[in-house]
Amino acid sequence: MERHIAMLITKFNKLIHNKIIWAAFAILVSLSMVGLFAPTSGGGGQPDNAVGTLFGEPVSHEELARIRRCMLAFQPPRGNGEEQQKMIQDEAWRRLAVRRYATRLGVRVSNQEIGEAIARDPSFAVNGVFNRQRYQQLVEQQIGVPMGLFEDYLRDELLLQKMQALVGTSIWIAPHELQENVSRYTDRFTVNVIELSATNLVNDVTASDAQVRDFYDRNPPLFNTPELRSVYYVEWPVQEIAKTVNVSETQIQDAYDRDIESYSVTDTNTMAVSYTPLEEVADELRAKIANREALGIAGEYAMQFRDDLRMRKAADPVSIHSLAEARGMNVHTSELFSAIAPVTGTSAGTAFNKAAFKLDPQDPANTYSSAVIGDDAVYLLAWHTNRPAVLQPFEDVKDTATGLATEQARQEAFTTRVAEIRRKFEDARKEKTDFATAASALKLEVVTVGPFSVYDADPEKIPFFSDIAPAVLPLATGELAEPVKTAENTLIVYLAAREPGNPSEADSLKPEITRMLQSSRMRMHFAAWSEELMAKAKDNKGKEEPAAN
């Protein structure tokens, strides 16, 4: 649990120079204004905007939306497809169900626990000791998140970690399972490898006229003129929002101090180093800070706009036009564009195209996009129209089809040939013919790799290491792996010898591998448990919640 929170915090510094990450965290600043992490009000009657119940108590639109926004801000992007959005929605329900169940059990995260988790992180230390000023600077200035908001997020994560640990108390790792996993790391492997290439085995294969025509008929997207699309979109200009952002002198000073080296000037004669005075770059820094914060605010506006589109009931459809009109915004209509051509009047590059070509007019949840971050604006797109792709006549693309069909024929022939070669090695093994002799009969060159162990190997010094190591881990001496595909060729892999590794090395690894196995098992167990909890909570069977151990 502690390592999870520490890793979460320490990763922030590596991300702060990324524009999209800046936007995601800056979004959280404005989220605090609408109570993203505010406690959920309990009791009372069924609210008008309830979207369901958990344990017989209503779940409001705002409560579920807050959880979803938190997930979208702090978790990696998952896309805007129907399946991805359903996963996000299901996870939001599960997190809320676990939260409410934790409250029933009396599970809490104290302020002291939050403080201890933060104080242990080396990112916030000066000379090895936690420094509150540095903590405040990193969180509020660099990450762009108020300390209280950040700590509330950590509290929520720690609560889920506690529940995961509670559910996982019954997990047990059998000794033989532990030993098997330790052996995978410490056993010493000697491997015989044969590298097969399509160039050598099937270079003379060509596609027949019938195969070329069949390839054309089966793969029309390869021979289409590109589909063109036009979208409606609304935009939040960053520079306009930046005009409303107040930048303090402290923020400017902090930004200057953080990036002081970029303002250094070296005298080529004396090699003396001086620095451009703050007064000369203050306006530049003020504009950068204002734009950064404006980008986050624009992103939050787009997220709220999208949530309003998504969370409205099916019986009350709301178009991008009516929502924009209610907010006093203009709806723009783009020109027809392809999946790769720049879209006139926008600054998001190919991100705009990708979002547009994910839209699906047949799926109400995907007729509009997520926020699309550009250089000087944030956009939200909605379906307008398209000009479908058109299949080009066979005669016009015959040469292209011939080349592609031949490549496919060679790949299929190569796969068949590799399978035949491996089968011959299997037959030789059954007849007690050693691998080298069988390879010689087939006129194939054998490369011997090892002995090596996964634990102490230097991958750069071991041929094919990243490809063959996963293949041989489950094998016993004398066994063949399934053909291993590399970036360019395919390998026949034979485990010539597998010997036990250093016993003391194995013993030293057991605690860490035990933790890895327990963590993996715990995550799977917790996922199944929380799924069951959510189902029963939605069915109002609170008295029958799954046991937490």
Per-residue model confidence (pLDDT) at position 375: 85
Question: Is the entire prediction scored with pTM above 0.85?
Answer: no
Q: At what angle do helices 82-105 and 147-167 cross, to 10 degrees?
A: 80
CATH no. for residue 413? 3.10.50
Q: Looking at the domain assignment, is residue 220 inside a domain?
A: no
Looking at the structure, tell me whether residues 156 and 198 fall in a common domain: no
Domain boundary among 342, 360, 388: 388
Eight-class DSSP state of 368? B
Residue recorded with tokens 């952002």: 245
pLDDT tens across 178-193, in order? 777 777 778 888 999 9
> Same structural domain for residues 250 and 353?
yes
Q: How far apart (Å, rounded) are the C-alpha atoms in residues 353 and 380? A: 12
* Integer CA distances (angstroms), 159 to 25, 59, 96, 106, 107, in order: 21, 20, 11, 11, 7
In a domain, 249, yes or no: yes
Rounded distance, CA 301 to CA 305, Å?
Answer: 6
- Please state the domain count of the chain: 3
Query: Is residue 156 assigned to a domain?
Result: yes
- Please check whether residues 266 and 360 belong to one and the same domain: yes
Q: How many CA atoms lie within 13 A of 415 on its CB side?
A: 6
Q: Which residues on neighbouring strands pair with residue 265, listed in sequence order? A: 274
Cβ burial, residue 8 (10 Å; 0-12/13-18/19+): middle
Residues 382 and 403 in one domain: no
SS (H, E, C) 276-324: CCHHHHHHHHHHHHHHHHHHHHHHHHHHHHHHHHHHCCCCCCCCHHHHH
Q: Which residue has the tokens 């720049």?
A: 342
What distance in Å separates the CA atoms of residue 71 and residue 157, rounded to the nearest whole number?
Answer: 11
Kindly state whether residues 238 and 382 are assigned to the same domain: yes
Does 246 map to a domain?
yes
CATH code of the domain covering residue 159: 1.10.4030
State residue 76's pLDDT score: 59
**3, exposed or middle or buried, with CB in 10 Å at 0-12, 13-18, 19+?**
exposed
Q: Indicate whether 366 and 421 sit together in one domain.
A: no
HEC profile of 472-495:
HCCCCCCCECCCEECCCCEEEEEE
Beta carbons within 8 Å of 397's beta carbon, 6+ residues apart? 216, 223
Q: Annotate 314-328 with b (16+ C-beta within 10 A) or e (fewer).
A: eeeeeebeebbeeee
Q: Which residues contact 205 (CB under 8 A, 6 or more apart)?
A: 406, 409, 410, 413
Residue 219 domain-assigned (yes or no): no
What gap in Å lies between CA 161 and CA 169, rounded to an integer? 12
Residue type, 386: N
Domain that holds residue 466: 188-205+398-499
Residues of 346-368 as b/e, b for ≥16 C-beta within 10 angstroms? bbbeebbbbbbbebeeeeeebbb
Evaluate whether 230 touches 522 at the Cβ level (below 8 Å): no
Q: Is the peptide bond before 451 cis (omega within 30 degrees of 0)?
A: yes
Instruction: Please say which residue of 360, 388, 416 terminates a domain.
Output: 388
Residue 321 counted as domain residue: yes
Question: Same domain, yes or no, for 292 and 359?
Answer: yes
**pLDDT of amino acid 70:** 64
Task: Tell whether 166 and 20 lie within a shared domain.
Answer: yes
At 284-331, the pLDDT tens digits run 888 888 888 888 888 888 888 888 877 665 445 568 888 898 889 999
**Last-in-domain residue among 333, 368, 388:** 388
Cβ 272 vs Cβ 287: under 8 Å:
no
Whether residues 143 and 164 fall in one domain: yes
Q: What residues contact residue 526 under an 8 Å CB cut-off, 6+ apart? A: 163, 164, 167, 168
Q: Would you say residue 218 lies in a domain?
A: no
Contact criterion met (CB below 8 Å) for 144 and 296: yes
Report pLDDT for 383. 92
Q: Are residues 309 and 430 both part of a single domain?
A: no
| Residue 34 belongs to some domain of the structure | yes
Residue 40: its pLDDT value, please?
A: 34
Note whether 296 and 339 are same-domain residues.
Answer: yes
Domain identity same for 371 and 444: no
Which residue positions in the chain have pLDDT lower than 50? Answer: 1-47, 314-315, 541-547, 549
